[in-house]
A = this chain, B = another copy of it.
């Protein structure tokens, strides 16, 4: 077995330093990806990943579907395919997303991640403004950084992005003569916050997009994983194909290992995305496309999706119960109606990046909140995943986190002479009302303007 490669030495890096593109100065690793390596130790309970539980997929189904692909189309599965994806896969995706979707408006990509990359490639020059939620998907942070975007993050509450704040921001940017290139949003079961954009806000977001001629990248990996409540129309449905690029993926509803996602977009945008994909990866995997198409054709999908929803609902419940039992009263967290993540916010004197080091020593992991911001905010928050671990592990993982949190609060109290219980009164004196409901979102407020630029991490 090969060990992990040692990091490059300073002298080595110097040799090539003059060759690197300027974008590499702001390219960073995603915290989740780094954590993946650390949390490979089997004794670690990782609540850090965004991993679906692929162990629930029956090996026999996989074998049967692949046998069908091998028997019927082995030569095609092994061959190149069209850049935009195979016709049968595009049709299957259109059917999955909704009756109104024209397969000609769909391109198949190498995972949902590639859609984010291609939208950046198509729309962003260095320094261009992108609007995102605060917190935003931690995996989008390195992508936005690699295109040297100036990301403005808009606050959220339990109903998703604060559209009032978005409107003010758009007006301010217009006054400054800066046109944002796109709004990046995960409106449904947001990663990392777990909240869902309400219908009235969806409608207003689309109105704003039209008024400001603004592309909206709707990243929707989790929409099909709703445990409760009524489904809401997607931004794609509300927009009707004018300004929304809808990104989807098989990662959370079937398999991330197939690396297949898709984009549905207005034709002129779609053509540029396709050009970008061609230059980057030529085409999505034919093997994976035929596997997914055969799987969907086989009629397995609705049942498997039901099974996943039931499984993840139980795990979410286990997590919410454990959080209520283990975290101090001053902490707050979201209560997602679907998806994979809970966002928890601790008393502000705690820094979750520091806490993570202690957590790893106690064999538990989470994503520190800073990974979801481009400006260093999120220091007292954390993203907790409930899809990748069994209920018992979730309870034990949260218990370990709770123990560390209490220990640190006690330590803080002992040092400052203030009782730990008062630690939660963050926000007092800031002129911001503080909600006391632990299951309602309490996200960090936006930083002052000067702090909001891409800090080059």
One complex includes copies of this chain to the number of 2
Are A29 and B278 touching (Cβ within 8 A)? yes
CA distance A78 to B284 in the complex (A): 16
**Is A51 close to B, CB under 8 A?**
yes
Are A291 and B287 touching (Cβ within 8 A)? yes
* CB under 8 Å from chain B, chain A span 289-329: 291
Contact residues in B for A270 (Cβ distance below 8 Å): 5
Residue of B nearest to A70 (CB): B63
A116 smallest CB distance to B (angstroms)? 9
Partner of A287 from B7, B80, B105, B257 at Cβ < 8 Å: B257
Contact residues in B for A181 (Cβ distance below 8 Å): 19
* CB under 8 Å from chain B, chain A span 87-138: 87, 90-91, 102-105, 110-111, 113-114, 117, 121-125, 128
Given contacts A279-B143, A285-B257, contact A82 B15 (CB under 8 A): no
**Is A256 close to B, CB under 8 A?**
yes
Are B268 and A15 touching (Cβ within 8 A)? yes
Contact residues in B for A174 (Cβ distance below 8 Å): none
**Is A288 close to B, CB under 8 A?**
yes
Q: Kindly specify which of A52-60, A225-233, A445-453 makes contact with the partner chain.
A: A52-60
Are B54 and A59 touching (Cβ within 8 A)? no
Q: Is the interface of A mostly helix, strand, loop or mixed?
A: helix
Contact residues in B for A37 (Cβ distance below 8 Å): 82
Chain A residues close to B by CB (< 8 Å): 1-8, 12-13, 15-16, 18-24, 27-30, 33, 36-37, 49, 51-52, 54-55, 57-60, 62-63, 66-67, 69-71, 74-83, 87, 90-91, 102-105, 110-111, 113-114, 117, 121-125, 128, 139, 142-143, 145-146, 179, 181-182, 213, 215, 251, 254-259, 266-272, 275-276, 278-288, 291
A33-B278, A78-B256, A145-B279 given. 9 additional CB < 8 A pairs?
A5-B270, A12-B267, A15-B213, A21-B122, A21-B125, A37-B82, A58-B74, A67-B67, A81-B257
Sampled A-B contacts (30; CB under 8 Å): A2-B102, A3-B104, A5-B105, A8-B268, A16-B269, A18-B179, A19-B213, A21-B121, A21-B124, A21-B128, A24-B275, A27-B272, A27-B275, A28-B275, A30-B278, A51-B80, A59-B75, A62-B77, A62-B78, A63-B66, A63-B74, A77-B255, A79-B257, A80-B251, A111-B282, A113-B282, A117-B279, A256-B282, A257-B285, A285-B288
